[in-house]
Amino acid sequence: MACAVAHIMDGPLNPSVTHGHMDGGAGAVVTFLGVVRSEEHGARIDALEYTTYDPMAERILRALAADAIERFSVRSIAAEHSRGRVAVGECSFRLTIASVHRREALDAADWFIERMKRDAPIWKRPIPAPSPAVIDGAAI
Amino acid sequence: MACAVAHIMDGPLNPSVTHGHMDGGAGAVVTFLGVVRSEEHGARIDALEYTTYDPMAERILRALAADAIERFSVRSIAAEHSRGRVAVGECSFRLTIASVHRREALDAADWFIERMKRDAPIWKRPIPAPSPAVIDGAAI
Amino acid sequence: MRVEVLLFGPLADAAGRDSLSVNTDATQPTARDVLDALTQAQPAMRSMLTACRLAVNHAFADDATLIRAGDEVAVIGLVSGG
Amino acid sequence: MRVEVLLFGPLADAAGRDSLSVNTDATQPTARDVLDALTQAQPAMRSMLTACRLAVNHAFADDATLIRAGDEVAVIGLVSGG
């Protein structure tokens, strides 16, 4: 049964993905995790701070999930995105797609993320890593 | 740091995807789970029974992982495949790919699975679901 | 009509605030009218505003979408989720 | 030379066993020689064997690969993992 869910969550997402029950129709489950990288435009950062326009962000993600289910004939899509501070190495976005065959799920993942980056009202602000001078309390 | 690992495991794989430590360089982690479907060539099944040619199967999977890391410039690939009986809804294959950007990871996943299905010496045999007559002990 | 417009991300940073009130000549302005009035009122934000879309009641609006009193109106610039 | 060849999956089912011993005329046969000798010895498996590759010591072998005494030789038919 086709199922589209989307949520904006406070802070980093749990990077453990548990598939308690998988129905016997889905042969492929693709999970995509977006992880905060240590550099943003070449500068070292400590974290990203995400701002979302609620409830439009969830609404757009849910609409994209429903759209992708139609376009790619996948069985279900669940999307989660962080709001607020997410440190380097932590997870800010998770997408889980179940489908009969793998190709649809991989294609749907690519399409969903592309569209999210265009349409979902979510913004990030880099939190710079302190410079060594600040860490040590004195210039080196 | 590029890292290719592959293992053949007895029985179904744990469907939980845990990323304890994610390094700050990988912005994308794609996990692909292959789940046993309830039908095989149109017939209802209870399980698949996997036979592997050890240690060639692991060796091929590891070589494909190393090859994919080169071809797609991803950071790491870990592949696991079941040996023996895996019931419907259980997980028989897991592929985890970490990369800087999503596209490489999705492309590498597609390529790896395509090549695995061609080259890895792993075979499956369907275990048919009992017919209703057998379940009831009498024809209906 | 006076329209309160919500701002986010780089646009909010540029404006130094989370919302702006804009005046349109029309009594029932379109989304385009609101964006044009905003651009006139904030010439410093002109280049950012060319890449913007208006959202009305949490959905992207066409240029021709009519704005009614009580609608929640937001300018959505370049987003950066993921 | 006498070569012991491991069988798997549908090939093993068709042969009713996990390995076959094949005789090649050559004293140092190639992978191609072994596949040809196998096909001659098992005409019923001919159609399956056309899609097969030989693995020698856990790696796929070219037609020209020489088989040595003590090598582990396997016929790899259509696989079906995933």
Chain mean pLDDT for chain A:
90
If you count residue pairs, one on B and one on D, with CB atoms under 8 Å apart, how many are there?
54
Task: Say if residue A55 is preceded by a cis peptide, omega within 30 of 0.
Answer: yes
Selecting from C9, C55, C80 the residue whose C-beta is nearest the C-beta of A56 gives: C55
pLDDT > 60? residue A51: yes
B73 touches chain D (CB under 8 A): no
What integer pLDDT is reported at residue B26 of this predicted model?
Answer: 82
| Residue B18 is assigned to a structural domain of this protein | no
Within 8 A of A29 by CB-CB distance, chain B residues are 32-33, 35
pLDDT in tens, A86-129: 999 999 999 999 999 999 999 999 999 999 999 999 999 999 99
Summarize the confidence of residues B113-127 as an average pLDDT.
97
Can you give the residue range of the structural domain that contains C35? 2-76
| Residue A112 is assigned to a structural domain of this protein | yes
| Residue A97 is assigned to a structural domain of this protein | yes
The number of distinct structural domains making up chain B is: 1
| Residue D20 is assigned to a structural domain of this protein | yes
CB A22 within 8 A of CB A29: yes
| Residue B41 is assigned to a structural domain of this protein | yes
Are B89 and A33 inside 8 Å of each other by CB? no
pLDDT > 80? residue B41: yes
| Residue D81 is assigned to a structural domain of this protein | no
What integer pLDDT is reported at residue B16 of this predicted model?
Answer: 77
pLDDT > 80? residue B52: yes
Summarize the confidence of residues B114-121 as an average pLDDT.
98
CA distance A135 to B69: 36
Can you give the residue range of the structural domain that contains A111? 3-13+25-130
What integer pLDDT is reported at residue C22 of this predicted model?
Answer: 95
| Residue D82 is assigned to a structural domain of this protein | no
Q: DSSP state, A21?
A: -
CA distance B3 to B25: 14
The answer to whether A and C touch (≥3 CB pairs < 8 Å) is yes
ipTM computed for the complex: 0.91
Cα angle vertex B87, ends B84, B91, to 5°?
Answer: 80
| Residue A139 is assigned to a structural domain of this protein | no
Question: φ, ψ for residue B95 (rounded to 5)?
Answer: -130, 130
CA distance C67 to C64: 9
Chain mean pLDDT for chain B:
90
The number of distinct structural domains making up chain D is: 1
B40 contact partners, CB below 8 Å, separation of at least 6:
B48, B126
Selecting from A51, A59, A93 the residue whose C-beta is nearest the C-beta of C8 gives: A51
Mutate to test the interface with B, among A16, A32, A88 (most CBs of B within 10 A): A32
Of D20, D27, D25, D9, nearest in space to D73 by CA: D20
| Residue D49 is assigned to a structural domain of this protein | yes
Least confident of A23-27, A134-138, B48-52, B77-81: A134-138
Q: Could you give the percent of chain A with pLDDT greater than 90?
A: 79
Least confident of A114-123, B36-45, B113-122, D65-74: B36-45
What integer pLDDT is reported at residue A16 of this predicted model?
Answer: 77
pLDDT > 70? residue B106: yes
**Cβ count near B132 (within 10 Å):** 10
Of B17, B87, B99, nearest in space to B49 by CA: B87
Within 8 A of A23 by CB-CB distance, chain B residues are 89
pLDDT in tens, C1-13: 999 999 999 999 9
The CATH number given to whatever domain includes residue C68 is: 3.10.20.30
CA distance A81 to A34: 9
What integer pLDDT is reported at residue A26 of this predicted model?
Answer: 83
Are C55 and A121 inside 8 Å of each other by CB? yes
Mutate to test the interface with C, among A13, A53, A67 (most CBs of C within 10 A): A53
Are B117 and D82 inside 8 Å of each other by CB? yes
Q: Could you give the percent of chain A with pLDDT greater than 70?
A: 86
Least confident of B23-37, B92-106, D19-33: B23-37
What's the distance, CA B16 to chain centroid?
A: 13
What integer pLDDT is reported at residue A74 of this predicted model?
Answer: 96
Which amino acid is residue A15, in one-letter code? P
B72 touches chain D (CB under 8 A): no
CB B29 within 8 A of CB A32: yes
pLDDT in tens, D57-76: 999 999 999 999 999 999 99
CA distance D1 to C10: 77
Least confident of A4-18, C15-29, D43-57: A4-18
Within 8 A of B117 by CB-CB distance, chain D residues are 79-82
pLDDT in tens, A58-87: 999 999 999 999 999 999 999 999 999 999
Question: Which residue on chain A is closest to B27 by alpha carbon?
Answer: A35
Chains that touch A (3 or more CB pairs under 8 A): B, C
What integer pLDDT is reported at residue A139 of this predicted model?
Answer: 47
Are A109 and B106 inside 8 Å of each other by CB? yes
pLDDT > 70? residue B57: yes
What integer pLDDT is reported at residue A100 of this predicted model?
Answer: 94
What integer pLDDT is reported at residue B139 of this predicted model?
Answer: 47
What integer pLDDT is reported at residue A133 of this predicted model?
Answer: 59
Within 8 A of B118 by CB-CB distance, chain D residues are 79
| Residue B103 is assigned to a structural domain of this protein | yes
Chains that touch C (3 or more CB pairs under 8 A): A
B23: pLDDT confidence band, cut at 50, 70 and 90?
Answer: low
Q: Could you give the percent of chain C with pLDDT greater than 90?
A: 94
| Residue B20 is assigned to a structural domain of this protein | no
pLDDT in tens, D15-40: 999 999 999 988 899 999 999 999 99
CA distance C40 to chain A (A): 24
pLDDT > 50? residue A140: no
The CATH number given to whatever domain includes residue A123 is: 3.90.1170.40
* Regions of chain C with pLDDT less than 70: none
Question: Which residue on chain D is closest to B32 by alpha carbon?
Answer: D82
